[in-house]
Amino acid sequence: MTEHSLWRFSRALHRAINERQYEDLEALIDDDVDWAVYGPIDMFPFFGARRGKAAVLEVIRQIADNIRVHRFDRESMMLGAETAAAMMRYSLTMLDANKPISLRLAQFAQFNAGKLVSIRILVDTFDLVEQALGHPIHLPRIA
């Protein structure tokens, strides 16, 4: 049994973010990759959609400039031959303020011949924004 593409990609991604080692990651991304992280782009400009390997590598460099990954736990996972879906919890540090952040996300990835061709990441943005702001967001009560 061979290793699933998600495991190789995940290790290379975290090495790129924490150690700025991009070579392994570059080899695992398709030239025409379709990448999207859904969240508040105004607060986190590295969220949003990107197309193509160069754009995705640049956004990963932006992420590496802003966060450090301390821990991640896969809460649930579904793997197909060339697909993966996961619910994950991350412990991060926002580097500009040395602020710890805990967030949950869902990711949906597609691979072709071991290379990432598409990824969608949905971030629990309400909790993330509260942590980034440093206080709870008070919303009006809805009857």
**Residue 143 clears pLDDT 60, i.e. is over it:** no
CA distance 103 to 92: 8
Kindly report the number of other CB atoms within 10 A of residue 29's CB atom: 23
Q: What are the start-end ranges of the E strands in 1-143?
A: 29-38, 48-51, 67-79, 83-94, 99-112, 115-123
The pLDDT of residue 91: 92
The pLDDT of residue 46: 92
Q: Are 103 and 89 in contact (CB under 8 A)?
A: yes
Q: Which of 135, 104, 133 lies closest to 44 in space, CA to CA?
A: 133
Tell me what the mean pLDDT of segment 36-65 comes to: 94
Instruction: Indicate the burial class of 143 (C-beta count within 10 angstroms; 0-12, 13-18, 19 or more).
Output: exposed
